[in-house]
Amino acid sequence: MNPLLLTLIIILVVLTAGLIVLYFVGRRMQKKQEEHQAQIQAMKQPVTMLVIDKKIMKLKEAGLPQAVIDQTPKYLRRSRVPVVKAKVGPQTLSLIADQNVYDIIPTRTNVKAMVSGIYIVEVKSMKGGKPLEKPTKKKGFLRRTMDSLQTKAGAKPVK
């Protein structure tokens, strides 16, 4: 048998086995994530808090309790997480926010939020009943230039 053909068959078998393993590992991890999300949704509580500051920082520098840092896997301890410093009642706490929620949290305002442990799951509204909106991104130089050129040419600018 041709050695080139034999090498290609071996590579194909190894790649197929790798894809099968990745499929089953991915399914298992997806099930774990769904279980964790179900636990978070079951444990969430409404909280009124005054948001002092928000930053994306390393887990060790966030000022979280040592028990939280010890429970995270070692390969994730240097990862950057969205941290919100908030005053809940008389206590000032460091909370971890969901990435989607972090963008809409305003600073230096009272906010009604759903919290599960030290994890901010969702933000309901600000004081005064104002709805929260995701801040619009500022257009860059290239986008502004393209929009002005398109309006001069008679075309509608892309949003």
- Delimit the domains of the chain by residue range: 1-42, 44-126
What is the pLDDT averaged over residues 118-128? 83
Q: What mean pLDDT value characterizes the chain?
A: 89
pLDDT bin (cut points 50, 70, 90) of residue 76 is confident
pLDDT of residue 153: 87
Place of tokens 């997806």: 30
d(CA 89, CA 75): 34
CB 56 within 8 A of CB 80: yes
- The predicted-structure confidence for 43-53, as pLDDT tens digits, reads as follows 999 999 999 99
* pLDDT score recorded for residue 159: 62
Statement: residue 58 has pLDDT above 70: yes
At residue 157, does pLDDT exceed 80?
no
Position 132 pLDDT exceeds 70: no
This prediction's pTM: 0.69
Q: Burial letters for 22-51: b for 16+ Cβ neighbours within 10 Å, e otherwise?
A: eeeeeeeeeeeeeeeeeeeeeebeebebbb
pLDDT band at 63 (very low <50, low <70, confident <90, very high): confident
Domain 44-126: assigned CATH number: 2.40.50
Q: Is the confidence at residue 85, as pLDDT, over 80? A: yes
- Is the predicted pLDDT of residue 64 greater than 90, yes or no? no
Given a cut of 90, whether residue 127 has pLDDT beyond it is no
Between 159 and 44, name the one with better pLDDT: 44
Confidence of residue 15 (pLDDT cuts 50, 70, 90): very high
Residue 75 has pLDDT above 80, yes or no: yes
